[in-house]
């Protein structure tokens, strides 16, 4: 097995285990803090938003550090740190210490940013531009399998009221996963000196900045899936949480199955089609919601949303990293991660504001769909420019 094949398989395996851990336990922390610890939803939401912002900003910082000091060291530190955050949350549950619980959430955000940025930079290092689409798709497919399976098991654990020991054991397991990384060689062979001013270097690239803004809007759109979408179906269409949960599981499994085959169709010259059509189809899935309130229609709309996600995600990260020079991939991975993370965190806020408007639901969902129209227009602008200026991408 060559280095490229071994590295991507290790990254895919770890991505599956990490996503399974998050899906099975971490996705239930809001429910636990609110129901069991009696912490208000407003405080939880505010705290998670602040912690999320810090984590998003840290991706820019860690991206620059991986360019200077290598990917592997931050991958190992991040993975051990994530295991520690799970362990601390379990310990906080056991002792009933709210401070420990909140600290563990903060640490998880920081260490997750470290691992996420390192993964993206490593995949960009080991694959040529044309093959990066498949590399990111393989990693994301396995991650989605973890997300698809995890919540079902997590729900059972929550019902059994065995959260403390489960978090502690999973935390130990996630830390020991870092041992696998010893089989990953250092992929950043052209390290550069670290200068604080270089952190924002990618943002000076005009077209990368426009691309990142388009991606920010798309991720605001995607952020509706676990917020506005679920609340609307539950409160307005009276769909039970059980069925909504099944649609999430279906989404994760379908992405896991079809992400890689979809990526095989992506080439450098047609990548923008996937970004444009993927965004529009995703948004159209939301536009279907006001027309029917049946369970069958709920699953149909989720299938459309999932198709949009598969198409879009087959191209997004690989295209973002194609803007970067060889010794700047970490910086670009961190900057792109910053925009997409902020978009996800802004999603529930944007959707919440729209649903405060006293207008019909068709108009409200149209204001969400417009994000897809704007983002796809920005993608189209970039790639039309690229047809006239081949130096936009470092290929």
129-149 pLDDT, tens digit per residue, is 778 888 888 888 888 888 777
Structure tokens at 277: 């059509």
Q: pLDDT tier at 395 (50, 70, 90 boundaries)? A: very low
94 burial type by CB count under 10 A (0-12 exposed, 13-18 middle, 19+ buried): middle
pLDDT tens digit sequence for 232-249: 887 788 887 678 778 878
pLDDT band at residue 330 using 50, 70 and 90 as cut-offs: confident
Q: How far is CA 364 from CA 103, 128, 163, 292, 352, in A?
A: 37, 42, 38, 15, 10
CA 202 vs. chain centroid, Å, equals 20
Percentage of the chain with pLDDT > 90?
25
Q: How far is CA 329 from CA 17, 64, 122, 129, 252, in A?
A: 25, 9, 9, 12, 28
Run of H or E including 137: helix 129-160
Are 205 and 261 in contact by the 8 Å Cβ rule? The answer is no
Mean pLDDT check: name the lowest of 24-28, 305-309, 342-346: 24-28
Tokens of 249: 């599981």
Residue 388, pLDDT above cutoff 60: no
Q: What was the pLDDT predicted at 107? A: 93
Domains recognised in the chain with CATH numbers: 1-181 (1.20.1250.20), 200-395 (1.20.1250.20)
Does the pLDDT of residue 389 top 60, yes or no?
A: no
CA dist., res. 121 & res. 75, Å (int): 11
């Amino acid at each position: 097995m060559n280095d490229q094949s071994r590295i991507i398989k290790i990254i895919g395996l770890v991505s599956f285990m990490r996503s399974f851990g998050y899906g099975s336990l971490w996705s239930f922390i809001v429910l636990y803090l609110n129901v069991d610890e009696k912490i208000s939803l407003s405080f939880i939401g505010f705290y998670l938003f602040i912690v999320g912002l810090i984590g998003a900003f840290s991706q820019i910082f860690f991206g620059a550090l991986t360019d200077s000091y290598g990917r592997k060291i931050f991958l190992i530190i991040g993975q051990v740190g994530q295991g520690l955050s799970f362990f601390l949350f379990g310990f906080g549950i056991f002792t009933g210490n709210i401070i420990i619980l909140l600290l563990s959430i903060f640490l998880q955000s920081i260490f997750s940013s470290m691992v996420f940025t390192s993964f993206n930079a490593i995949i960009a290092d080991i694959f040529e531009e044309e093959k990066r689409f498949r590399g990111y798709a393989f990693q994301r497919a396995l991650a989605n399998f973890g997300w698809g399976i995890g919540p079902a098991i997590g729900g059972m654990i929550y019902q059994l009221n065995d959260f403390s020991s489960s978090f502690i054991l999973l935390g130990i397991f996630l830390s020991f996963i870092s041992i696998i990384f010893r089989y990953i060689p250092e992929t950043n062979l052209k390290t550069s000196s670290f200068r604080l001013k270089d952190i924002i270097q990618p943002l000076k690239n005009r077209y990368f900045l426009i691309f990142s803004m388009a991606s920010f809007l798309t991720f605001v759109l995607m952020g509706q899936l676990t917020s506005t979408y679920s609340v609307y179906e539950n409160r307005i269409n009276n769909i039970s949480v059980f069925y909504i949960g099944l649609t999430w599981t279906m989404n994760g499994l379908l992405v896991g199955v079809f992400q890689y085959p979809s990526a095989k169709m992506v080439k450098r010259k047609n990548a923008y089609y996937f970004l444009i059509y993927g965004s529009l189809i995703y948004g159209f899935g939301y536009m279907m919601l006001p027309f029917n309130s049946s369970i069958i229609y709920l699953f149909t709309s989720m299938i459309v949303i999932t198709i949009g996600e598969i198409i879009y995600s087959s191209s997004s990260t690989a295209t973002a990293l194609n803007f970067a020079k060889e010794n700047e991939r970490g910086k670009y991975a961190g900057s792109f991660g910053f925009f997409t993370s902020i978009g996800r965190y802004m999603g529930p806020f944007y959707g919440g504001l729209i649903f405060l408007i006293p207008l019909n639901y068709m108009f409200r969902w149209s204001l969400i769909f417009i994000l897809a129209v704007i983002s796809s227009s920005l993608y189209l602008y970039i790639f039309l420019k690229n047809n006239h200026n081949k130096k936009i991408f470092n290929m």
